[in-house]
Chains A and B, each alone.
Chain A
Amino acid sequence: MTVLEVHDLSVAYGVIEALKGISFAVEEGEIVSLIGANGAGKSTTLRTISGLLRAKGGRVAYKGKEIGKLPPYKIVELGVTQVPEGRRVFTRMSVLENLEMGAYTCRERGGVKAGLKRVFARFPRLAERKNQLAGTLSGGEQQMLAMGRALMSRPEILLLDEPSMGLAPLLVKEVFSIIKEINADGTTILLVEQNAHMALSISGRAYVLQTGEIILSGSASELMQHPEVKKAYLGD
């Protein structure tokens, strides 16, 4: 089943056209990555899917249902949750409160507790620091918190915007292996990255975004061998 379908999407900031009619799809259970350089339009794509930005044209569908006109909170309720670029944890709130905010849409009794148990099992460091202010965490810990927080809503599809940003290589490895685990547990993933090498290494398929247009797409292994990708994004 197609979880997320973006069709001919165009988005502009005033006169600046950030997306010029891009199309792609994510099937259930996949890890799909969207790679591209600085300013290619990656964050714009995710922000539009999440409802923070309104498209100028085209459509976004979640499980066949058009979501392009919904407010962000309704999109989260449907099962589409984003980990924003730069982590954006609530620095003046405790780790626990951050996670509770992630579970804001949860209505079942005991749902938050169960969610915390799951997240703490995956990120034991967060359990140790649950009463600390999120602003006092290290960059890596904040990334874990941002991911844990997003998982609290039990998303069907997780949108990740540059989870490797500003992290030391060892931490990047850890983050990516966690993404793989999350996917193995049944969450579909759309990953946005500048770090094409890492992204391709865990993805099934990928799209290459350049100045608002998708210029290449295919399986991750194909793209890794593609001369243009090698030259522009893999630094070979």
Chain B
Amino acid sequence: MLIQQIINGLTLGATYALIALGYTMVYGIIQLINFAHGDIFMIGAFIGVAAASIFFHNFFLILIAAMLACTVLGVTIERVAYRPLRRANRLNALISTIGVSIFLETFMTVFKGPQPIGFPHVLNNATYRLGHTEFSSIQIIILLVSILLMVGLQGIVRYTKTGKAMRAASEDYDTASLMGININRVISFTFAIGSALAAAGGVLVGIYFNSVDPYMGVMVGLKAFVAAVLGGIGNIPGAMLGGMILGLAEVFGVAAGFSSYKDAIAFTLLIVILLVRPTGLLGRPLQRKV
């Protein structure tokens, strides 16, 4: 029973974590909360559905197609809607992210209708039993894919030249540009990676709940944002940790009988943690930002 809940919680948490990473990486570099990020997740799910009809239900091709398409989308959105406002008041860019969010939701509603659609059958949903513990192959795939992507991300951020430039820019934007780092390229790269991860999350969640709709990114996006803040916004391992904690808290909260308060759990947790640790779990006490 306990192990069962932990598996359920980690599965949910892994998808929150995938999305939370995009919030945190973008915030880390340009201190922008990208409210359209949850909608990239939604678009990723829709692209997954569309790709399923092209790629003969090959899960990995579907995943890659959604990730690539959202990479292009995320980079384009930054280029068109956020970059021109980079030097303006931070509030302007924030409002622009809300505008993009509404645009994407409305566009998909007009294009696909407001009703949820099912995700084509791409994974065999076998159920395994281990004593009293029951878990599905889909859960295992979600966990494995999410973990693989997060390990991959850590590899990029730690060891590649662009990944290091990302860390440099997120610590000190001006000094990073004095090193000859093309900050605009680094920002595009950040949006690319964040969007790809969100798209992966969209496909996984779409398959898991067998449901995709234009507003699916709203609550999930908000919760992933909470996860990012929980872990310490701007901090990559923090987003992963925050996502997992949030997933576990929700699953255990529901198991404890608070199912009607499921969505409130995230925000309660947020308030409690921010009261105790205003910078989040792994956030740094004071950032040197100019």
Chain A residues near B (Cβ < 8 Å):
50-52, 71-73, 76-77, 81-82, 84, 88, 90-93, 97, 100-102, 104-105, 149, 153
Contact yes or no, B178 A104, CB < 8 A: no
A97 to B171, CA, bound (A): 13
A100 to B183, CA, bound (A): 16
User: Which chain A residue shows the least CB distance to B175?
Assistant: A88
Asked whether A76 and B167 contact (CB < 8 A) given A88-B172, A104-B161, the answer is: no
Contact yes or no, A73 B167, CB < 8 A: no
A50 to B181, CA, bound (A): 13
Contact yes or no, B178 A82, CB < 8 A: yes
Contact yes or no, B178 A52, CB < 8 A: yes
User: Which chain B residue shows the least CB distance to A134?
Assistant: B171
Contact yes or no, B164 A73, CB < 8 A: no
Give the distance to chain B from A222, nearest Cβ to Cβ, in Å.
Answer: 32
Interface set, chain B 104-163, CB cutoff 8 A to A: 161
User: Which chain B residue shows the least CB distance to A159?
Assistant: B178
Q: Give the dominant DSSP class at B's interface.
A: helix
A149 to B175, CA, bound (A): 11
Contact yes or no, A76 B172, CB < 8 A: no
Contact yes or no, B177 A90, CB < 8 A: no
Task: Give me 12 other A-B pairs in contact (C-beta within 8 A), A52-B177, A90-B176 excluded.
Answer: A72-B178, A73-B182, A76-B178, A76-B180, A81-B180, A84-B175, A90-B168, A90-B171, A93-B164, A101-B165, A101-B179, A153-B179
A90 to B175, CA, bound (A): 8
**CB-CB < 8 A to A81: which residues of B?**
178, 180
B 247-281 to A, binary, CB cutoff 8 A, 1 in contact else 0 = 00000000000000000000000000000000000
Q: List 6 A-B contacts (CB under 8 A).
A: A84-B178, A88-B175, A90-B168, A92-B171, A102-B179, A104-B180
Contact yes or no, A72 B177, CB < 8 A: yes
**CB-CB < 8 A to B288: which residues of A?**
91
Q: How many residue pairs, one in A and one in B, have C-beta atoms under 8 Å apart?
A: 64
Contact yes or no, A50 B182, CB < 8 A: no
Asked whether A90 and B172 contact (CB < 8 A) given A101-B164, A101-B165, A104-B165, the answer is: yes
**CB-CB < 8 A to A91: which residues of B?**
171, 288
Contact yes or no, A149 B179, CB < 8 A: yes
A131 to B288, CA, bound (A): 22
Contact yes or no, B168 A101, CB < 8 A: yes
Q: Give the dominant DSSP class at A's interface.
A: loop
Asked whether A101 and B172 contact (CB < 8 A) given A90-B167, A93-B164, A93-B167, the answer is: no
**CB-CB < 8 A to A101: which residues of B?**
164-165, 168, 176, 179, 181
A88 to B168, CA, bound (A): 11
Contact yes or no, A97 B164, CB < 8 A: yes
User: Which chain B residue shows the least CB distance to A100?
Assistant: B164
Give the distance to chain A from B288, nearest Cβ to Cβ, in Å.
Answer: 8
Q: Which of A50, A72, A153 has its CB near the most chain B CB atoms (within 10 A)?
A: A72
User: Which chain A residue shows the least CB distance to B167?
Assistant: A93
Contact yes or no, B181 A104, CB < 8 A: yes
A33 to B164, CA, bound (A): 33
A92 to B172, CA, bound (A): 10
Asked whether A77 and B180 contact (CB < 8 A) given A52-B174, A88-B175, the answer is: yes
A93 to B171, CA, bound (A): 9
A102 to B167, CA, bound (A): 14
A90 to B164, CA, bound (A): 11
User: Which chain A residue shows the least CB distance to B182?
Assistant: A73
Contact yes or no, A104 B179, CB < 8 A: yes
Contact yes or no, A73 B175, CB < 8 A: no
**CB-CB < 8 A to A88: which residues of B?**
172, 174-175
**CB-CB < 8 A to A92: which residues of B?**
167, 171
Q: Which of B161, B172, B177 contacts A73 (CB 8 A)?
A: B177
**CB-CB < 8 A to A100: which residues of B?**
161, 164
A91 to B175, CA, bound (A): 12
A50 to B178, CA, bound (A): 7
Q: Which of B161, B167, B174, B179 has its CB near the most chain A CB atoms (within 10 A)?
A: B179
A72 to B172, CA, bound (A): 14
Interface set, chain B 28-84, CB cutoff 8 A to A: none
